A and B are shown apart, each in its own frame.
Chain A
Amino acid sequence: MDMAGGKSRLTWAVNLSAALLVLLWVIPTVGLLISSFRDRDAISTSGWWTALSASEKNVIERALAPDEAKPEGDLWVIEGQVLEGQGVTVTAFGITSKEPEAFTPGDTATHARGHKITVQSDGHYRIEYEEEPSGNRGQRLFVRAETPPGFTLDNYREVLFAEGMGQSLMNTLTVTIPATIIPVLVAAFAAYALAWMEMPGRALLVASVVGLLVVPLQVAFIPLLKLHNGVGLGKGYLGIWLAHTGFGLPLAVFLLRNYMVGLPGEIIESARVDGATDFQIFRRIILPLSFPALASFAIFQFLWVWNDLLVAKVFLGTGEDELVMTGRIVELLGSRGGDWEILAASAFVSIAVPIFVFFSLQRYLVRGLLAGSVKGG
């Protein structure tokens, strides 16, 4: 059946391309996520895609000094361990810098001065002298060792407690929670009035809200900073809550009004006929019915405020008790530019919460997006 064959081939092609696309979109995040669990040396010597295979490294260590040699039969022997406690496997060793990998573990290398050196694969070494040696500089051992793949939480420990991300997490929470709740409340009342109450100029107000949707935030910075300084608010949490409320309101009013307009009018009318006040209607009927829209906007606002850098840079100070996570990461990008273990862990401390919110509440987010955008077309 040519028809069926063509169809299954197409299905294959579609599945394959979709897989490729998803892979392309996920890989950047995965790369950094894996790196955030690797230790500093591993990140800077090998790509994250090698993280699951053992990594090899070359090290030079000195054996114990010849003075430490102990007699054993006719011989004087030094025994010890290279790369102690690192759980590595030695794959090759040597005794000169010209041939650092000349011998395989278990072989015996003979030094120009006559002593014999053996390194086992577990890192144990044994040096045999025929006469009592002296000196305090030990034999140099060149070792190639294989480290099993290892992951660590040290990076997270460091950024949270030593690099100040813990404090910044607190600051971000302090900014985000009020800046999410306040606009939802204010917008819900306004949206109800604009959807269901008779008032002159309603159409104009709705049009202005739609217009304000796209006003660039940058417009507000200079005038508002002057205003905040003028009324004594300065830079601080109260100022940034108000600013985020202002910037979030157009979308909030727009989304909520569009949703409320779609609620069945008969319920509201019959409640009015029964003598309910607008406040009662709002609290008992509109709010519960609008829950999906309220949730959508709340998620939007939460993600936006949590992820914001610009508004925080303008309206908050840069002191230890006010620097938000995004601001801290930008600072780290400057001061610890090449330290990927710090940057990766910091980034994921700030990304973790939004990602969790995203995956658990995606349904509402999508609904909000659709209500906010498709309506326009």
Chain B
Amino acid sequence: MQQAIFAISTIIIGVFGCVAYFYFSNVILDRLLPAKGPNAGRNINRANAIRPWLFVFPALAILSIYLLYPVFSTAYLSLHDSSGDFVGAGNYTWLAQDEKFRESLVNNLLWLLVVPAASTFFGLVAAGLTDRIKWGQAAQSLVFMPMAISFVGAAVIWKFIYDYRGDNQGEQIGLLNALVQAFGGDPQAWITLPFWNNFFLMAILIWIQTGFAMVILSAALKGISEETIEAAYLDGASPLQVFFKIKIPQIWGTIAVVWTTITVTVLKVFDIVFAMTNGQWGTQVLANLMYDWMFRGSPDFGRGSAIVVVIMLLVTPVMVWNIYNAHKETR
């Protein structure tokens, strides 16, 4: 109860504080530089120069403290050891030799290869199929739904599918093992299966991200001009040919956007690995390794920061590409 009162009062204070800031800062500006009197013209110009900054200031301040400053701070910390002494590239040379880091890097690259490709592919298939049927809208909703489910919830859902009962522990209650058994195979403990367990974890993210890819690609497919499609049909193209040779080439830009967006998500993947295996059995990834170094018994912020810098570097190309595109568009 106390907590609810605390939360509600903070919401009220926060929201009113916000509104009050914007309102009163504008009022004060108008008082200080009134748009009348002898200096009206000069005052209006000055007020117009200052006002935008009043509007932007809170966002700018929060962004600077919560995202911009940490980027530099992390880079700085990565050059220091756990007790704060400067070690130069020491943390990075340690990383290069660390067994777990190499495993994480390889796994992350594997995720980068598989998840964006598979999600985009399934998304494209789903978009192509649902575009052509009457109940397409409902079908899209259902495929899109996992987007609303937390990674942790998804982990529970899939852990149940991968559930394994050893000999003498009764019937298999995991769907995957039951299917394998029905087709005459031997049940497996999928999550501990070396190397392949990575793919069972990836399936979870693909399951979630396909809906995202589908929604965006489906909108792009709808935006294709009817004329090109009709012309192709008149020339005797089959529906499949139209899909692959007329439609897909026209939405390459969108496919690239979907691909890169999922790529960024993949680089940050943490919850799934944390909840499913916590990096055991050869499934470690960078984000989880970083968390591990940050919160283990004797945390090492230097090493943790060095791992973050590696993630940051991997994201940078996407960042540059995004800025380039946004810039091109505003022009």
Contacts and interface: CB of A to CB of B under 8 A. Distances in A.
> 8 smallest A-B Cβ distances: which pairs?
A246-B66, A307-B150, A377-B253, A190-B59, A358-B148, A223-B73, A193-B55, A199-B52
A241 interface: yes
A344 B160 contact: yes
B228 interface: no
B33 interface: no
A358 B77 contact: no
Interface in A167-211: 170-171, 173-174, 177-178, 181-182, 185-187, 189-190, 192-194, 197-199, 202-203, 205-211
Query: For chain A, what secondary structure do more than half of its interface residues adopt (helix, strand, loop), or is it mixed?
Result: helix
A276 interface: no
Contacts of B323: 207, 210-211
Nearest to B69: A223
A251 B172 CA distance: 44
A158 B63 CA distance: 42
B88 interface: no
A237 interface: yes
Interface stretch (A29-37, A72-80, A131-139, A289-297): A29-37
Interface stretch (A87-95, A101-109, A111-119, A326-334): A326-334
A216 interface: yes
A202 B53 CA distance: 10
22 contacts: A14-B132, A32-B156, A35-B160, A46-B171, A47-B172, A174-B6, A177-B7, A178-B7, A178-B10, A197-B55, A216-B287, A216-B312, A219-B70, A222-B301, A245-B62, A309-B150, A309-B152, A310-B287, A326-B271, A351-B153, A374-B257, A377-B254
Interface residues of A, number: 114
A308 B315 CA distance: 21
A97 to B, nearest CB: 18
A46 B172 CA distance: 7
A189 B264 contact: no
Contact of A216 (B60, B163, B267): B267
B11 interface: yes
Contacts of B158: 28
A333 B30 CA distance: 58
Contacts of A354: 148-150
Contacts of A351: 148-150, 153
A49 interface: yes
A3 to B, nearest CB: 11
Interface string A337-350: 00010011011001
Interface of A: 10-11, 14-15, 17-18, 21-22, 25-29, 31-32, 35, 43-49, 170-171, 173-174, 177-178, 181-182, 185-187, 189-190, 192-194, 197-199, 202-203, 205-224, 227, 237-238, 241-243, 245-247, 249-250, 253, 277-279, 282, 303, 306-310, 313-314, 321, 326, 329-330, 333, 340, 343-344, 346-347, 350-351, 354-355, 357-359, 362, 366, 369-370, 373-377
Contacts of A177: 7, 11
A31 B130 CA distance: 24
Contacts of B152: 307, 309, 326, 329-330, 347, 350
A220 B142 contact: no
Contact of B55 (A18, A189, A203): A189
Contact of B268 (A216, A223, A250, A343): A216
Contacts of A27: 175
B66 A245 contact: yes
Interface in B27-59: 30, 48-49, 51-53, 55-56, 58-59
Max count, chain B CB within 10 A of own CB: residue among A14, A216, A220, A245: A216
Given A333-B156, A347-B156, 18 more contacts: A10-B239, A185-B18, A190-B58, A192-B55, A197-B52, A208-B68, A214-B322, A215-B315, A222-B308, A223-B74, A249-B67, A309-B151, A333-B159, A346-B156, A358-B144, A373-B216, A374-B220, A377-B325
Contact of B305 (A171, A222, A250): A222
Contact of B308 (A203, A218, A247): A218
Contacts of A189: 22, 55-56, 58-59
B74 A219 contact: yes
Contacts of A355: 145, 148-149
